């Protein structure tokens, strides 16, 4: 019996409970479309399957090293460079290393902690809903930021709403202790996550690279010869 359950778990990816109302809503909408005109039912069913796929929450294996910075989301590395963190994070006015991950509507949207540490601050800010793939989205869009007090200093993680994303979900609280790769929230539908790191970090990610949340290493504290260092003044 245990082997059967393990086989089923390997076939069916877990679904976040936050997605259940949307999945049911899409299916009911499919039934209404089918009642109006039967071929439309199949269109609605395809959308329902996509909704199930969107809210998937697959298990991830996070590298076990406190020196590593892990991608907080699935998607494409949209930018790597120096930037001043959002003022509401309280990280000062000096530039930090920023790594941005853009999530399309086909990526898993569960967000994970890039480093282990204690959540010392959570700050929400209203804003616009421009394309999250644009650099100005980090400044203009609605966002929710976390500051994680790690062994290597404060790390900022900012969930940014996108063009069609209208809801940022964060279920962690100030004072919570997060492990690297641990789930802390999600964004619906299509969005971006920025990570702000101390200047001493060595970047391993490249723009255009595909990242897997909770698994892909995007930076390292300490580093090794040959790794890229961003000079942040």
63 falls within a domain = no
Strand 143-150 to 75-83 pairing? unpaired
Q: Give me the domain span that covers residue 135.
A: 68-229
CA dihedral 84, 232, 119, 113 (to 10 degrees): 100
In angstroms, what CA-CA distances link 129 with 83, 100, 183, 189? Answer: 21, 17, 24, 11
CATH code of 164's domain = 2.70.70
80 is a domain residue:
yes
40 part of a folded domain? yes
49 shares its domain with 74: no
Dist CA 191 CA 89 (whole Å): 19
In a domain, 62, yes or no: no
The percent of residues above 70 in pLDDT, for the chain, comes to 81
Q: Are residues 92 and 201 in the same domain?
A: yes
Q: Are 206 and 184 in contact (CB under 8 A)?
A: no
Calpha distance 174→157 (Å, rounded): 13
Contact 176, 119 (CB under 8 A): yes
Residue 197 CA to its chain's centroid (Å): 16
Q: Identify whether residues 213 and 121 lie together within a single domain.
A: yes
- Token pair 């590395």: residue: 77
Per the domain annotation, does 132 fall within a domain?
yes
Please report whether residue 194 resides in a domain: yes
Q: What is the pLDDT of residues 171-206, one digit of tens each?
A: 999 999 999 999 999 887 668 899 999 998 999 999
Which residues touch 170 (CB under 8 Å, ≥6 apart)? 122, 144, 146, 159, 184, 185
74 shares its domain with 153: yes
Q: Which pLDDT belongs to residue 136?
A: 55
86, 142: one domain: yes
126 and 35 part of one domain: no
Please give the Cα distance from 179 to 70 (Å, whole number). Answer: 11
Assess whether 42 and 142 both reside in one domain: no
Residues with a known catalytic role: 191
Give residue 166's pLDDT: 57
Shared-domain flag, residues 207 and 124: yes
DSSP 86: P
Indicate the range of 8-17, 136-145, 154-163 predicted with least confidence: 8-17
How many structural domains compose the chain? Answer: 2
Residue 145: partners with Cβ closer than 8 Å, 6 or more residues away: 86, 88, 89, 121, 122, 123, 124, 125, 156, 157, 158, 159
Confidence of residue 4 (pLDDT cuts 50, 70, 90): very low
Q: Is residue 61 part of a domain?
A: no
State the pLDDT confidence band at 226, using cuts at 50, 70 and 90: very low
The string of DSSP letters for 10-62 reads: HHSPPB-GGGHHHHHHHHHHHHHHHHH-HHHHHHHHHHHHHHHHHTB------
Q: What is the mean pLDDT of the chain?
A: 83
168 and 118 assigned to the same domain:
yes
pLDDT at 12: 59
- Give the E-state strand segments of 52-190 in sequence order: 68-70, 75-83, 96-103, 110-112, 117-125, 143-150, 153-161, 167-170, 177-178, 183-188
Whether 59 maps to a domain, the answer reads no
Whether 77 and 153 share a structural domain: yes
Q: Cα–Cα distance between 233 and 225 in angstroms, integer?
A: 21
């Amino acid at each position: 019996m245990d082997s059967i359950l393990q086989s089923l778990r390997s076939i069916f990816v877990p679904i976040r409970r936050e997605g259940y109302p949307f999945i049911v809503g899409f299916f009911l909408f499919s039934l209404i479309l089918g009642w109006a005109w039967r071929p439309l039912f199949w269109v609605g069913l395809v959308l329902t399957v996509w909704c199930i796929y969107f809210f998937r929450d697959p298990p991830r294996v996070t590298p076990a090293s406190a020196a590593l910075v892990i991608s907080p989301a699935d998607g494409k590395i949209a930018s790597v460079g120096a930037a001043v963190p959002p003022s509401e994070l309280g990280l000062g006015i000096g530039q930090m290393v920023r790594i941005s991950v853009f999530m399309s509507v086909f990526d898993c949207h569960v967000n994970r902690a890039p480093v282990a540490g204690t959540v010392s601050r959570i700050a929400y800010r209203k804003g616009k809903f421009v394309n999250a793939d644009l650099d100005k989205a980090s400044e203009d869009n609605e966002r929710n930021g976390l500051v994680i007090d790690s062994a290597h200093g404060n790390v900022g993680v900012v969930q940014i709403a996108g063009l069609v994303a209208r809801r940022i979900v964060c279920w962690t609280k100030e004072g919570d202790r997060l492990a690297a790769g641990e789930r802390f929230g999600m964004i619906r539908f299509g969005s971006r996550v920025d990570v702000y790191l101390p200047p001493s970090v060595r970047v391993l990610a490249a723009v255009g690279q595909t990242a897997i949340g909770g698994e892909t290493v995007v930076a390292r504290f300490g580093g090794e010869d040959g790794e890229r260092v961003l000079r942040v003044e």
